[in-house]
Amino acid sequence: MTNLYEELAWLLPAPLDFPRKVADAVTGRGLQELATFALDDNNLRRLTKRLRQLQGKQINLSPLVNVKIGILSNSTTKLVTTPLVGTALRFGLALEVVEAEFDQIAQEAFSEASSFTGQDLSAVLISIDYRGLPFVASPGDASAGLQNVQDCLAYIRSVIESVRTKSGAQILVQNFALPAESLSGSYEGRLPGTLMWLLNRLNSELDTLASDNTFIVDIAGLAANVGLANWHDPTLWNIAKLPFAQKYLPIYADYIGRILAARLGKSRRCLILDLDNTLWGGVIGDDGMDGILIGNGDATGEAHLHVQKIALELRGRGVVLAVSSKNEDATARQPFLEHPDMLLKENHIAAFLANWSDKASNIRAIAATLSLGLDSMVFLDDNPAERLQVRRELPEVAVPELPTDPALYARTLIAAGYFEAITFSDEDRQRATFYQDNARRTQILNGASDMNAYLNSLDMEMTLAPFNSTGRARITQLISKSNQFNLTTKRYDEIEVEQLEKDPSVFTRQIRLKDTLGDNGMISVVVCRKAADVWEIDTWLMSCRVLGRRVEEAVLHDLVTHAVQAGATRLVGRYIPSARNVIVKDHYKKLGFQQASEIDNIETWELDIHNYEFSSVPIKRTLAI
C-alpha cells in the first residue's frame, strides 16, 4: 500500500462510467456523492465543470454550503483551483476561488488595490513555497541564520496582517515542505544556516503566528508523508512553477477541503467500531477469549491493538467511540471486561450495540442515542459487505475502504482525515465524556414513566454569561457545528464573534449546563440585536444533547427578563428552514410566539413580552458576569 495518499486509498475507486454519472448529476447531493470517490485530476475537473454548469442555471444545490476563498501564492495556482473546487464537494462545499495574480504576494498584500477587496471572502489561503522567501544560505553562521529566519517570519506576519485587514477573512497559511536534497547528509539539519536548518526553524516559529484568525496548514507534514523526493518535481517547477508533483493535486486539495470543512463544523465526531477482525483478530463467538488475537507477540494481534490505541487517542481528542457488532451482547463485551491485553474498556464506549441487526440499523440507533447526526459518524469495519451495505443505506456516514492487511487499518483511518481539528479546548477533550453521560440520560429516560420526575431528578444547573474571550473559540465552534437546533443556520467566525462580543447594541449569551450525571459544557448560544422597543433574535442554537430538557424555556426566561429591563416590548425571531433544522420548525410556536409573516419560506415570529407568563422550569439558573 505504498500509494496510500496518492490514490486516496480510503475512498472507493471511481466507477468506469463516472463521466456519464457526472453528466447526469442535477442536484447538490448528487455532486457530493460523486465526490466521495477517489478522483484523479481529470475527474475532479469534470465534477467542477458540472458544478459550474448547474450554478449557471441557478439550480438550488442544497445542501451544499457556498464558500468563497482567496489564494495568494508565489507559485502557479491555476492548476490547483479546479481540483480544489471538485474536492470541496466531498465535504459538502460549493467552493468559489478568487486567485491573486501569479507571484504577486507583496503587491497584493501591501498595495491599495487588491484582488480580495470587497469579495466577501470566508478565508484566504497564503501558499508560499520556500523559493518565494528571502533565504540566504550561511552554513556554519548561526547568528546570520537566526536573523534570516526572523526576517522571513516578519515578512510572513506582515503579509498575513495586511491581507486580513484588506479582506476581513480568516487566514490559512501553509508551512514549508523541506527540500529533498541534503548536501551534508545526516548533518544537514544540524548545520546552522543551511536551507534545511532555516526551514525547520521557520516552520517552528510559524506556529507562533497561529491564532483565532490564523491557521497553519501542515504541508510539511503532507510532503513528509508521501516522501520529499516524490513531492518535489524539479521539472514541473521549472516548466510550470507548480511546487509539488501533479499527481498529488488530489491529496493536496483534500487537505485544504478538510480544513475549510472543519471551520464550518463539518469534521466527524464519532467513530463506530466493528469488533471481530477489526478490534481483534478472529471471531469471539467462534474462537472464544483464548482464540482471538490481541496484543504483543503476534503480528496480527499487534496490528489490531494499534487500531485500539488510535481509537483511544482519538477519544482523548474528543471523538466519541461506539460499537456496532453482529454478536451476542454478553459475548461481545467479554474481551472489554476480561481480556488483559485490551486497551479499550467498556467505559470508553458511549454506545455499545451487539446484536444480530444489520449495521445500518445499529448506526441509526447509535446516532439517536448520542443525539448526533449521521454525518458525524465514521464506521470502521473489515468486512467489505458490511461497508457496502452502510454506504448504500447511509451515504452520510463515512466508511473508509480498508486494505486486507490489518497492520494498515490505523494508518488508513488517520490518513483519511475525518477528524480534522482547527482548535482544541477543554470542551473538546471532555466531549467523549459528555456524550457518554448523555447516553446514560437517554437510558434513564427510556426507563422513566414521568418526564417531569425525570427532569427534576437530573438537578440541572444552568450558567448564563455574555460572550467573552474565554468562551470565544467554543462559541464559534458551536455556531459552526450546530445544525438541527439552529433556527437561522447563520454562521459566524471568530473575528465576527469577537465583534458581537464588543458591540453594545448586541445582547449575547453563552450557556452551560450540568446535572447529576455530569457537566454538559457549553450547550447554547444566543445573539439578540437590540432596538428601542424590539429585540431581534439573530441567532439561537443549542446542542442536540439537551433537546427535550426544557432548556429553551429557561433561556427564554432570561431573554425576556433582560429585554423588559431594557424597555423592550417585543421579541422577534425568524425560522429559516434547512435540510437539517426541521426539528425546530415549531420552536417559537411552542414558546408562545405568534407568527407575523412568512416571506420566501422565512417565517417571522413575535412575542409580546409584557403578556409573557413565566412558567416553572426544573433548572437552577446562575448569571455569570
The 10 Å Cβ neighbour count of residue 574 is 18
Cell of 368: 439517536
Average pLDDT over every residue of 577-593: 85
Domain count, the chain: 3
DSSP 3-state assignment of 536?
strand
pLDDT at 446: 63
∠ CA(437), CA(440), CA(443), 5° rounding?
A: 155
DSSP for 257-297, please give it: HHHHHHHTT-S--EEEE--BTTTBBS-HHHHHHHHSB-STT
Average of per-residue pLDDT across 546-554: 85
pLDDT beyond 60 at 449: no
Per-residue pLDDT, 625: 59
Of the three residues 232, 263, 294, the one that is the final residue of a domain is 263
Give the CATH number, domain containing residue 590.
3.40.630.30
- 429 within some domain: no
In a domain, 29, yes or no: no
Co-location of 238 and 282 in the same domain: no
- For the chain, how are helix, strand and coil distributed in percent, rounded to 5? 45, 20, 35
Q: Are residues 604 and 457 in the same domain?
A: yes
Distances (CA, A) of 308 to 78, 267, 385: 42, 21, 22
Q: Has residue 2 got a pLDDT over 60? A: no
pLDDT band at 1 (very low <50, low <70, confident <90, very high): very low
Across the chain, mean pLDDT equals 91
Q: Quick check: 500 and 506 in contact, CB under 8 A?
A: yes
Quick one: 235 and 274 in the same domain? no
Cell of 107: 503587491
Q: What is the pLDDT of residues 224-252, one digit of tens each?
A: 999 999 999 999 999 999 999 999 999 99
**Domain stop point among 263, 279, 298:** 263
Same domain assignment for residues 522 and 542: yes
Query: Are both 160 and 222 inside the same structural domain?
Result: yes
| Grid cell listed for 460 | 440541572
Q: For residues 397 and 251, what is the distance between their CA atoms, to the nearest angstrom? A: 21
In angstroms, the CA 565 to CA 558 distance is: 11
Q: Is 550 left (phi over 0), alpha (psi -120 to 50) or beta?
A: left
Structure confidence by residue, pLDDT tens digits, 277-320 = 999 999 999 888 989 999 888 999 999 999 999 999 999 998 99
The pLDDT score that the predictor gives to residue 378 is: 98
Give the tens place of pLDDT for each residue, 250-260: 999 999 999 99
Q: Looking at the structure, tell me whether residues 473 and 614 fall in a common domain.
A: yes
pLDDT in tens, 375-415: 999 999 999 999 999 999 999 999 999 999 999 999 999 99
**210 and 84 housed in the same domain:** yes
pLDDT reading at 275 higher than 60: yes
Reduce the DSSP state of residue 71 to 3 states and report it.
strand
Q: In the chain, what percentage of residues exceed pLDDT 90? A: 70
Region 9-28 average pLDDT: 96
Q: Do 98 and 144 belong to one domain? A: yes
User: Is residue 178 pLDDT above 90, yes or no?
Assistant: yes
Q: What is the CA radius of gyration of the chain?
A: 26
Q: What confidence tens digit (pLDDT) does each residue in 412-441 have?
A: 999 999 999 888 777 777 777 777 776 767
Q: Give the Cα separation of 197 and 521 in Å (integer).
A: 43
- CATH (domain of 128): 3.40.50.1110
> Which 3 state secondary structure label does DSSP give 608?
strand
Is 567 within a domain? Answer: yes
Can you tell me the mean pLDDT for 359-373?
91
Task: Provide mean pLDDT across the span 72-91.
Answer: 95
| 282 and 362 fall within a common domain | yes
Residue appearing with cell numbers 453521560: 437
Closest CA to 380 of 274, 277, 306: 274
Does the residue 101 lie in any domain?
yes
Residue 213 belongs to domain spanning: 66-263
Q: Decide if 446 is inside a domain.
A: no
By the 8 A CB rule, do 320 and 370 touch? yes
pLDDT at residue 223 is higher than 80: yes
Q: Kindly tell me if the per-residue pLDDT of 58 is higher than 50.
A: yes
Q: Are 196 and 182 in contact (CB under 8 A)?
A: yes
Q: Among 240, 263, 286, where does a domain finish?
A: 263
On whether both 457 and 585 belong to a single domain, the answer is yes
| Sign for the pseudo-dihedral over CA of 448, 450, 456, 462 | positive
Q: Is residue 390 part of a domain?
A: yes
Residue 548 sits in the same domain as residue 458? yes
Q: Domain check: are 476 and 502 in the same one?
A: yes
589 confidence band (pLDDT: 50, 70, 90) = very high
* Domain contains 20: no
What is the distance between the alpha carbons of residues 570 and 596, in angstroms, rounded to a whole number?
Answer: 12
Q: At what angle do helices 41-56 and 249-263 cross, to 10 degrees?
A: 50
Task: Look up the pTM and report it.
Answer: 0.81
Per-residue confidence (pLDDT) for residue 350, from 0 to 100: 92
Instruction: Specify the DSSP class assigned to residue 319.
Output: P
Alpha helices by DSSP H, 89-233: 105-110, 142-167, 195-206, 219-226, 228-231
Place of cell 465583534: 499
Does residue 95 lie in a domain region?
A: yes
